[in-house]
Amino acid sequence: MAAILTEYLDSFVRSCDDKKLIAIPLAVLVLSLLVSGFVFATTGAPVKLGMEFEGGTMIAFETQESAEALALAYSAHSLVDTRKTGDRAILQFGPMDGESQSELEKAITSKYSSVEIKQIGALYGKELQTQALIALCLSFIGMALVVFLIFRTAVPSLAVVLSAFSDIAIAIAFMNIVGVELSLGTVAALLMLIGYSVDSDILLTTRVLKRRGSPDENIGRAMHTGVTMTTTTLAALVVMYIVSTFSYLVTSSVSQINLLSDIAIVLIFGLAADLMNTWLLNTGILRWHVRRSTPRRRRA
Amino acid sequence: MREEEVPKGLKNDIRVWLLIAAVVLSVVMIGPGYSAEEGLNTDLNYGLDLEGGSWIQIKLQGAVTQLDADISMLVTEIVESAIDVPIEILSVTGDEGEGYSNDGNTVTFTTSTYVSGLQMDLLGLGQSDISYSDDASSIVLSTNKQTLIMQYLSRALNTEVVPLFVGDGVEYEIRTAISLEELQTLMVPVGGNVLAGSDGDVIFREGVRTETRDMTRDILSEKLNSLGLKDIPVRTVGEEYILIDFAGTDLTTAKEIVEKPGKFEIRMQTTGNESVHVLYGDSIEKVGIVTQMDGSWNTPFTLDEEGAFALQKIAIETGAIADPNSHLLYMYLDDREVYGAPLSYSAASALNEHPIYSWQASTGIDEDGKTQAEQLQIHLRAGALPVNVVLMGSGQVDAALGDQFKRQVAIAGLFALLAVAVVVFRRYRKKEILLPMVGTSLCEVIIILGFAGAVNWQLDLPAIAGIIAAIGTGIDHLVIITDEVLYEGKLPSTKVYMERISKAFAIIFAAAATTTIAMSPLVVMGFGALRGFAITTIIGVLIGVLIARPVYGKVIKVVLDKAE
């Protein structure tokens, strides 16, 4: 699959001019920003915040009862959402006071087995929000600084940073469209994305700037390596996603591992976006930059 | 011929030996074992989400600030609210400046009702001389500003307020949640305000001092220890949070343990091993900060009225006031003796006349005495925390579920590695490349786990996600090395090969540097579960780049040489 993809991408990159190469991912980026911007305008956050950032209580346990029956049974507490995957029910509650919280926990732990509880105070959630935002910004700035230190030229460095930014923006837009909430796991995934996305960009930029040969040849070779890298990672992530999300289809009592499932799905979106951003956006900008400056450097 | 040379090349390479040593050491650290009852087991520590248990995170509420107020207004407010009759301030002597003064102030005031010495003592403002004429009382109070401010605030807010002298002034730690606006409003009736620093900003921050945070942590640890729960880690997270992990305990029990104070009791020796009950912990109103007086360390504490009278009564009944040395005073926490000493002669003779509210338990003059005094400070609180806390977050994963997560993660990891192997094999179609690549990744996993075992790291789900992230970039880097080595489709001469390897490593180091930098804010900020994730990722990347991947570069050449 990787080989076919590389071949197709390679011939596409060779046949298109730089402007067209850059235009496609930029259009997707703008579209993504619009989606997240719309969500931001309507809800006040660029992506739906999960329980860890909103505050509330999540209780999951094993039961044969239906979601409707459970929703009815616990409607007295500020029940927000009831879901059922296999034999596991997941109840989501809004913030409540300490006493009713303890009561609820006692009632559920004494009645059901394989209980998982997670409770985050609304205030703490607010604090986590700010911290996550700061972490994301600092990570991005740190990454950008390292990239500039490595290449020491403005255009190639900017291209790397722009495509990393685009990866994150598209991943967030996807989260909005598919309905993945922002949790600690997904924040981790977005941070991982910074690391993964820069890998292939650095490979591409180094090969094109520091190797002999025509830009197209260098790009082709880099693409061969880079697409393999991304597809191996994607393969691992798809497997991780399937195991952590759909195991209950095999044994219905098995729980989903939300943290891993969240990380995997966001990284899958992000790395798919990275394929486009590295080999169209970054490549387009880089090729334009090299062709613009080569004639002057070419030796007679 | 060639085949003999090749292994020699590897054998002489220190990096290869380093990797082998690291893997062997890691296996020892992981300590895999097999027993009939438990099946396969290791020495690795798992986090609560894999082992089962619960966690509680609490936030310490409080504020630290510098304040000023008017002395006569402070005295008026405090005394009038206690005796419900207006008072008239006649004079205030002494330094009334903003700073701390050792000399203190003398406030003289009168009121049209009878005020007893005991009433004044209970206010805790300082020494007072009272003279009576008809129904009126005339009082000369020796006090100082920081005591007045402290008493005013602790009454108004019903909490402890602890003054501390810092450089040029007095810093007050208010041990309950209060906003700057609330505090400013509160200071208006006493003609006071929140002081501003030299930069013009008001001196006020939410939270408590580091010492207070640590004391709260120690009290919690002590309490859990006294319940026999020795291995429960109580950690501070950032300035204001405390996180407690309860392995193998459900959340309901965990909350009860944190909320329930211990049973503190003071008893007095009658004869021999016999003793009588004096009071319980609820009679202890306040526990002060450990101080050194006349060379001896001691822990001050204050009794409420009931407690003070009970102690006086028992001291008289047992005869301790006449012969303190044969009627020792003992303190018990959860039926364990934590302190035992005779009453001082001055206290014993004073008890003859009146009950004593303010006590000091002295522990000795050396470092040991200091440690004991600090311990006693914790014991006296009987597990009651010094500051108001609010529950910020909590969670529970029961053991069966943790087990299942563990299995599932192992399956996910195994299948993910298999998927990677398939993709790599389809790309290169050579088992000579596939095996070293998968082998290197396995070595990296083993070393990361070994490291985790060596430093007693708790492997929880986020940490495992971090390991997966490190392995993911690892495979990427191995692909870069392989493609660089096989640049034109075939293996080059050794000289060219060395050049290519260094080019590959230039890319890899750059990529590893960006990943490390991108993760470091999480390590420094240290919030929530993501810290473990970031640290494992960084350590994994470093182990990969410095130990495992260079060896892959060597091995791949040797193996491909052989194959050709």
Q: Is residue B259 part of a domain?
A: no
C-alpha distances (whole Å) from B167 to each of B99, B150, B164, B202, B206 are 10, 18, 10, 17, 21
Mean predicted confidence (pLDDT) in B329-346: 85
Looking at the fold, whether B275 and B345 belong to one and the same domain comes out as yes
Looking at the fold, whether B282 and B357 belong to one and the same domain comes out as yes
Asked if B533 is an interface residue toward chain A (Cβ–Cβ < 8 A), one would say yes
Looking at the fold, whether B416 and B532 belong to one and the same domain comes out as yes
Residue B551: how many CB atoms within 10 A of its CB? 22
Instruction: Give contacts of B 260-299 with A, CB under 8 A.
Output: none
Contact between B372 and B364 (Cβ < 8 Å): yes
A/B interface, count of CB pairs below 8 Å: 230
- A135 vs B468: CB contact, 8 Å cut-off? no
- B411 vs A109: CB contact, 8 Å cut-off? no
Mean predicted confidence (pLDDT) in A256-274: 90
* Domain residue limits at B315: 264-374
- The structural domain count of chain B equals 3
Asked if B45 is an interface residue toward chain A (Cβ–Cβ < 8 A), one would say no
| Spatial separation of the C-alpha atoms in residues B437 and B481, rounded to whole Å | 10
pLDDT digits (tens, 9 = 90+) for B286-319: 887 788 877 888 888 888 888 888 888 888 888 8
pLDDT of residue A273: 95
Element (H, E) at B237: strand B234-237
Q: Does domain A56-120 have CATH number 3.30.70.260?
A: yes
**Domains of chain A, residue spans:** 2-50+124-297, 56-120
- B465 vs A203: CB contact, 8 Å cut-off? no
Looking at the fold, whether B417 and B511 belong to one and the same domain comes out as yes
Q: Is residue B516 part of a domain?
A: yes
Asked if B365 is an interface residue toward chain A (Cβ–Cβ < 8 A), one would say no
Asked if B515 is an interface residue toward chain A (Cβ–Cβ < 8 A), one would say yes
Asked if B525 is an interface residue toward chain A (Cβ–Cβ < 8 A), one would say yes
Contact between A233 and B475 (Cβ < 8 Å): yes
In the predicted structure, residue A255 carries a pLDDT above the cut 70: yes
Looking at the fold, whether B312 and B405 belong to one and the same domain comes out as no
Contacts with A200 from chain B: Cβ below 8 Å:
476
| Spatial separation of the C-alpha atoms in residues B499 and A211, rounded to whole Å | 12
Q: How far is A15 from chain B (nearest CA, A)?
A: 23
Q: Is residue B245 part of a domain?
A: no
- B510 vs A150: CB contact, 8 Å cut-off? yes
pLDDT of residue B126: 81
* Residue B16 zone, left/alpha/beta (φ > 0; ψ -120 to 50; rest): alpha
Looking at the fold, whether B436 and B485 belong to one and the same domain comes out as yes
Residue with tokens 């609210």: B81
Q: How far is B541 from chain A (nearest CA, A)?
A: 11
pLDDT of residue B400: 84
| Spatial separation of the C-alpha atoms in residues A41 and A174, rounded to whole Å | 17
- A114 vs B398: CB contact, 8 Å cut-off? yes
Query: Given pLDDT bands bounded at 50, 70 and 90, which one contains residue B376?
Result: confident
C-alpha distances (whole Å) from A33 to each of A182, A224, A281, B484 are 16, 30, 16, 37
Q: Is residue B211 part of a domain?
A: no
- Nearest residue on chain A to B255, alpha-carbon basis: A102
| Spatial separation of the C-alpha atoms in residues B298 and B361, rounded to whole Å | 5
Contacts with B484 from chain A: Cβ below 8 Å:
225
List the single range of A110-119, B134-143, B227-236 with lowest mean pLDDT. B227-236
Q: Is residue B484 part of a domain?
A: yes
Domains A2-50+124-297 and A56-120 share a fold: no
Measure CB to CB from residue B483 to each of A225, A235, A257 and give the nearest one: A225
Looking at the fold, whether B323 and B369 belong to one and the same domain comes out as yes
Measure CB to CB from residue B394 to each of A119, A203, A243 and give the nearest one: A119
- Nearest residue on chain A to B394, alpha-carbon basis: A119
Contact between B449 and B44 (Cβ < 8 Å): yes
pLDDT digits (tens, 9 = 90+) for B174-219: 988 888 999 999 999 888 888 888 888 888 988 888 888 888 888 8
| Upper half-sphere CA count for residue B45 (Cβ side, 13 Å) | 12
Q: How far is B479 from chain A (nearest CA, A)?
A: 6
Q: Is residue B231 part of a domain?
A: no
Looking at the fold, whether B406 and B521 belong to one and the same domain comes out as yes
This prediction has a pTM of 0.78
Mean predicted confidence (pLDDT) in B94-102: 61
| Spatial separation of the C-alpha atoms in residues B85 and B79, rounded to whole Å | 9
Instruction: Give contacts of B 102-131 with A, CB under 8 A.
Output: none
Q: Is residue B431 part of a domain?
A: yes
pLDDT digits (tens, 9 = 90+) for B378-395: 788 766 777 878 888 888
Global ipTM: 0.87
CATH number of A2-50+124-297: 1.20.1640.10
Looking at the fold, whether B422 and B552 belong to one and the same domain comes out as yes
Looking at the fold, whether B544 and B421 belong to one and the same domain comes out as yes
Q: Is residue B230 part of a domain?
A: no
Contacts with A132 from chain B: Cβ below 8 Å:
530
Look up the CATH number of the domain holding residue B503. Answer: 1.20.1640.10
The DSSP line for B472-530 is: HHHHHHHHHHHHHHTTTSS---HHHHHHHHHHHHHHHHHHHHHHHHHHHHHHHH--TTH
Contacts with B529 from chain A: Cβ below 8 Å:
184
Looking at the fold, whether B419 and B532 belong to one and the same domain comes out as yes
- B521 vs A134: CB contact, 8 Å cut-off? yes
